[in-house]
Every structure is written in C-alpha cells, then in structure tokens.
Amino acid sequence: METMEPILAAHPFCKGLEPRYLKLILACASRETFTPGRFLCRDNEEARKFYLIHHGRVAVEIYRARRGALTIQTIGEGEVLGWLWFDQPYHWHLDARALDLTRVISLDVQCLLNKCNQDHDFGYELMRRYAHYLAVQFRVTKVQLADFYGD
C-alpha cells in the first residue's frame, strides 16, 4: 500500500484528489503487471476492474471474424482503461492487450461503486473525473471519425 499511494496520487485521474478520497480509492486498488501480449480484458467479460496505467502501452482492439483483431486505439502512461465500469451491464465491449510490459493500478469496480454509494461527495468527485475522461474520449473519437488525413 505504501508504494501504491504516490503512484496513485501522481496519476492524472487522481491528481489533486483530497487525501481522504485517495484513501478510499486505495482501499479498492491493487497493482498488476501485464507482459506483452497478455490481455487486460476481453470482449463480453464482466468488467470487474478499472485500470489506471502508469507504465507501458495497451492496444484496444475489436475482433473481426475471419479478419482478426483491429487496433482502434493505444493508451499509455497516465491514461485509463475501462470507461464503461460505471454503467450497466458492466461488461467489456473490447479487447485490451499489453503491447509492452505494462504496469497498472487496477481498481475493483464493485468496491468503488460501494464507496460511491456510501459517500456521495466522493461519488460526485469520481463521476466528475470520469465525465472529463469520457468527454475527451468522445472528442478523440469524433476527430478519428472525421477521417483526419483524408484529403
């Protein structure tokens, strides 16, 4: 726990968070390492974890029958994986595979949801950050759909 706190505090998702809220998140957190090629999540699996990446890179993929996996995004240090953990049906919709040795702090979704329900101020703060990341993700997706390099 002692070594995880500074990593968590420095991660952009948690930056500036009140210490008491950081402690609530820490109670749901664990460290994980994924070797290259290992999946952090698979399509249709239950979304039990929300990942804060602090080292390495992850490919987010869609699997296409007969054509294999298509990478639609890569995410790295300071970014998060698992946007839909806050919303039902709490299932992954994509595959995510480590490209490099990847170290993450994984947050137990059920544990986080319980804490949000017990402390609505904490829930609001988490939702505010979640909404920001969702808005950024939405903007990036729109730009990607615009066929950036098309003319």
When binding is defined by CB under 8 A, the residue of 1, 10, 72, 101 that contacts another protein is: 72
Could you tell me the two tokens for 56? 């390495």
**Cβ(24)–Cβ(122) below 8 Å:** yes
61: contact with another protein by CB under 8 A: yes
One residue of 6, 16, 89, 150 binding another protein per CB under 8 A = 150
**Residue from 97, 116, 122, 126 that binds another protein (CB under 8 A)?**
97
What is the closest distance, in whole angstroms, from the C-beta atom of residue 55 to another protein in the complex?
14
Please report which helix (H) or strand (E) contains residue 122, including its range: helix 120-145
Give the full edge-to-edge strand order of the sheet including 29-34: 29-34, 102-108, 49-55, 80-81
DSSP state of 56: S
Whole-angstrom Cα Rg for the chain: 16
**Residue 68 makes contact with another protein by CB under 8 A:** yes
Residues that bind another protein (CB under 8 A): 57, 59-61, 68-74, 76, 97, 99, 140, 143-144, 146-151
